Structure formats: C-alpha cells, structure tokens
Amino acid sequence: MPPTANMKSEDKPQGLTMLFADDERSLQEIMKLELPLMGHRVTVCPDGLTAAAALEKDNFDCILVDLDMPGMSGIEATKAITEEFEDAAIIGLSMHDAEDIERAIKEAGAQDYICKNSPAEMILATVKKYLQRNSQ
C-alpha cells in the first residue's frame, strides 16, 4: 500500500499530474522515481502515439515530450496535443541544443524547450516553473 493510502485527502500532497514521453529508458526510470518523490504523479510513455492515447484517458498539468521518438515525433505529438488541448503546458526535450529545434517545438505549441544535456538544476528549474504556474 502506498504511504498516502491511509491518509485523509486533506493530508495528501497536492502534487500535479505529469505526462513524460521519451523513448530513452534511463530517463523514463528517473522520471518514474523522481517526480513522485517531489509529490507529483507521472505517466511515462515510450513514444508520441502512446502519449496521445494517454491524453485521451487522463488530464495532465504538464507534458514533457522528447522531440525524437519512434512512431510520432515530439513535434508531431505537440501539434496533435495543442489542437485538442489549447492550454496544454508542454515542454519539449532534445539531446540537441540548437535554436532551430527550439523554434520548431515552440512553433508546434510548446511553451518551452530543454536540452537534455543541460545541467540537472536547469532542467528541474524549468519544470518547476511550469509546475508552479499550473498550481496557482
């Protein structure tokens, strides 16, 4: 039983619901471990198609999407998501730190872009910025 299972609803952490779409297994595992420790619920998807299907079943406060995934790229997934959910808080992820990539994901509808090679503090700061914005 999870530690919060016996808690009254007002005692449970007021975390956010996040969708993380990335085909890189190590990052999937990190997000599965770290986000719940921060009090957030996370759904991890290995590709854009699975992420799009997850959005049909649940509401998410923040969506982190890798740009280079099999099946449906992050840019295609972002376009599809923002067509259906205009106010979706989407942060694009890529191993490449290039202005044209950042511009493309933002043009697709993402609010921000993070290079996976960025220091962990920068990645967490960007995610926290959107988590805080959505929790207000």
Tokens of 97: 């730190």
Tokens of 37: 């420790």
The boundaries of the domain holding residue 53 are 14-135
**6 within domain boundaries:** no
Say what percent of the chain tops pLDDT 90.
40
Give the number of domains in the chain. 1
With a cut of 80, say whether residue 119 has pLDDT above it: no
Phi and psi at residue 81, to the nearest 5°:
-65, -45
Read off the pLDDT of residues 20-46 as tens digits, 9 standing for 90 and up. Answer: 999 999 989 988 988 888 888 999 999
**74 within domain boundaries:** yes
Q: List the beta bridge partners of residue 64.
A: 20, 91
User: What CATH number is attached to the domain comprising 33?
Assistant: 3.40.50.2300
CB-CB contact of 45 with 51 (8 Å): yes
Q: List the beta bridge partners of residue 91.
A: 64, 112
**118 within domain boundaries:** yes
Predicted model pTM? 0.80
Which pLDDT score, from 0 to 100, does residue 84 have?
A: 86
Q: Give the C-alpha separation, 131 to 61, whole Å.
A: 7
CB-CB contact of 48 with 69 (8 Å): yes
With a cut of 70, say whether residue 88 has pLDDT above it: yes
